[in-house]
């Protein structure tokens, strides 16, 4: 509807007062309170919900968030040093220094986690293999389905090439719905699914070969979090 313009001394009619109401941002505790107060919303009505800190507009059929899909903030951690851990089969451990914390501005926000890890291990003929799990706090998220004795992980590479020093980069993305406005930490675990019987040393930002020459690389691993408006 067009914006209503009033002049000094004008006596408002009921219809004009309704226009004023429609053009105001009305504040409600939550969507239930809004539904009780506005039984028949009109297109263009704008409301603010205190429980989710969300501005929503009525599009003619439903209230939808303003700016849904917008990136509200970005945090990122880059790990440049190396990491290693001795791991038995199907055992995982957190990669030190590869965490990031974000405080969502609304419970309706989603968090897009983007992770890239370079690594390898010391197990013969499996040196480029490792698995990753994404964690929110102490909870594993973004896991594959349960299937017999198979290990559910977020991402995995299986390199069965012969030779020494094979290593690789594993990258993944996951859109999480933490439903909170509290500070939330995301971390990455590395695990041994390279061999059913062997314990091995698993590495990040390096491979099993670490000779001091220009044929041996050092890399970075990263975790980036983006808050997406819900």
Compute the mean pLDDT over every residue in the chain, rounded to the nearest whole number: 88
8 in any annotated domain: no
Which residues lie below 8 Å from residue 70, measured CB to CB, with a gap of 6+?
A: 228, 229
**What is the extent of the structural domain holding 78?**
71-228
pLDDT of amino acid 4: 64
**How many domains, in total, are found in the chain?**
2
CA proximity to 98, closest of 225, 199, 226:
225
CA Rg, the chain, in Å? 26
Identify whether residues 108 and 25 lie together within a single domain: no
> Are residues 102 and 26 part of one domain?
no
Over residues 47-54, the mean pLDDT reads 81
Q: In whole angstroms, what is the distance from residue 223 CA to residue 37 CA?
A: 44
pLDDT at 166: 76
Q: Left (φ > 0), alpha (ψ -120 to 50) or beta: where does 152 sit?
A: beta
Domain-embedded: residue 3: no
Bridge partners (DSSP) listed for residue 86: 201
For the segment 60-103, what is each residue's pLDDT rounded down to a tens digit?
Answer: 888 887 777 888 899 999 999 999 999 999 999 999 999 999 99
C-alpha closest to that of 111 among 186, 192, 172: 186
User: Coil, helix or strand for 132?
Assistant: strand
Do residues 110 and 217 both lie within one domain? Answer: yes
- Tell which residue, 160, 207, 194, has the closest CA to residue 89: 194
**Separation of alpha carbons 112 and 99, rounded Å:** 14
Q: What's the average model confidence in pLDDT over 183-190?
A: 98
Q: Residue 1: its pLDDT value, please?
A: 45
Same domain, 48 and 122: no
Q: What is the mean pLDDT of residues 19-42?
A: 83
**CATH label of the domain that carries residue 26:** 3.40.1620
* Residues 55, 99 within the same domain: no
| Confidence check: pLDDT of 3 > 70 | no
Question: Mapping DSSP to helix (H, G, I), strand (E, B) and coil, where does residue 19 land?
Answer: helix
Q: What per-residue confidence (pLDDT) applies to 124?
A: 78
pLDDT-derived band at 173 (thresholds 50, 70, 90) equals very high
Confidence band (pLDDT; 50, 70, 90) for 48?
confident
* Residues 148-171 pLDDT 10s: 989 999 999 876 555 566 788 999
- Confidence at 56, pLDDT banded by 50, 70, 90: confident
Does residue 180 have a pLDDT over 90? yes
* 4 is a domain residue: no
Contact 193, 110 (CB under 8 A): no
Token pair of 218, please? Answer: 């050092």
Query: Which tokens belong to 152?
Result: 């559910």
Q: Cα(first)–Cα(last) distance of the chain, in Å?
A: 26
């Amino acid at each position: 509807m067009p914006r209503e313009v009033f002049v000094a001394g004008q006596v408002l009619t009921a219809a004009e007062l309704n226009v004023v109401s429609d053009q105001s941002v009305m504040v409600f505790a939550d969507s239930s309170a809004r539904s009780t107060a506005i039984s028949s919303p009109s297109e263009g009505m704008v409301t603010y919900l205190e429980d989710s800190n969300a501005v929503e507009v009525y599009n003619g059929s439903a209230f939808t968030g303003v700016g849904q899909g917008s990136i509200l903030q970005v945090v990122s951690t880059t790990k440049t040093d190396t990491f290693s851990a001795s791991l038995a089969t199907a055992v995982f451990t957190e990669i030190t220094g590869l965490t990031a914390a974000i405080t969502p501005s609304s419970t309706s926000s989603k968090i897009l986690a983007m992770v890239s890890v370079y690594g390898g291990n010391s197990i013969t003929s499996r040196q480029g293999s490792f698995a990753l799990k994404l964690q929110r706090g102490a909870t594993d998220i973004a896991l594959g389905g349960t299937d017999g004795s198979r290990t559910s992980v977020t991402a995995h590479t299986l390199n069965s090439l012969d030779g020494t020093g094979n290593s690789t980069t594993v990258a993944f993305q996951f859109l999480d719905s933490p439903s909170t406005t509290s500070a939330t930490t995301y971390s990455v675990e590395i695990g041994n699914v390279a061999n059913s019987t062997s314990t091995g040393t698993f590495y990040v930002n390096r491979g099993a070969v670490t000779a001091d020459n220009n044929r041996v690389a050092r890399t970075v691993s990263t975790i980036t979090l983006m808050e997406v408006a819900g």
